[in-house]
Amino acid sequence: MKGVILAGGVGSRLRPVTYLLNKNLLPVYDKPGIFYSIDLFKKAGIKDICIVAENHFLDDFRYLLGNGTDFGVRLVYENDSPLKKGPASALNHAREFAYGSNIALVFADGIFDVDISNQVREFKEGAHVFLKPVEDPSSFGIFETDQYGKVISIEEKPEKPKSNLATTGLALYDKTVFDKIDRIKPGLKGEYYTVQIDEQYLSEGKLKASILEGFWQDMGTFDGLFKASQYWYNKKKLRKDIAKKTLYNTKKHF
């Protein structure tokens, strides 16, 4: 399985910070946001990764990340369309990179602390999307499920949401995903959305959705960026405190 990281977007909700810097390069506690996407894939055993971003930011990503050697992965880069036709259109730029392979997709502005290695290992065909309950469902792609967790309907940023289960931007797709992109018609604002891909898998009876176990936070707003940084600060501080306590107890014993 290959990985695709969508690192585009103008970051309008994070202006003026994002006038000169891609939002996915902003620091989340002690490292740039996109590092977490790379870590997520590497942890899942995915080491062949394509980063899709607008042309004027690609050099920034290349300078920071290189070919991925320092991360123990292989990184390639693709230029997103300057017309900004949405995330499904951005994914389409990884078509040649992913040729003949199943893919894992993640939006770089989602900050994760999860392990999906089991799901990646077990995935064969269809689509598997990862959901989380949110407080503001009208800002996300929303999945309605029945009492058994089966997806009933999908809607992008609904005015009247049927549930609060939002796509986290993390999904596994089989190699037919690009054929489905070819069949998408423009949605809101003339853009192409990944939920339109999911709808096609749903109509084929090949869509699986599960609640993501672990941490996820959209960093596309200042509040979200703060919450993501706070989570990692608290987690790493706890690790340091435990390490210090262990060292102290060891010295005390001797």
Q: Are 190 and 83 in contact (CB under 8 A)?
A: no
End-to-end CA distance of the chain: 49
Contact 202, 129 (CB under 8 A): no
Q: What pLDDT is stored for residue 254 in this prediction?
A: 52
SS (H, E, C) 14-53: HCCHHHCCCHHHCEECCEECHHHHHHHHHHCCCCEEEEEE
* pTM of the predicted protein model: 0.89
Q: Which domain holds residue 194?
A: 2-253
Angstrom distance (rounded) from CA 31 to CA 25:
9
CATH of the domain at 227: 3.90.550.10
Mean pLDDT by 10 residues, the chain (254 residues): 90 81 92 96 96 89 94 93 77 93 96 95 95 88 86 88 92 95 82 90 93 92 94 84 53 51
* Distance, CA of 41 to CA of 114 (rounded, Å): 10
What is the tally of structural domains in the chain?
1
What's the pLDDT score for residue 247? 46
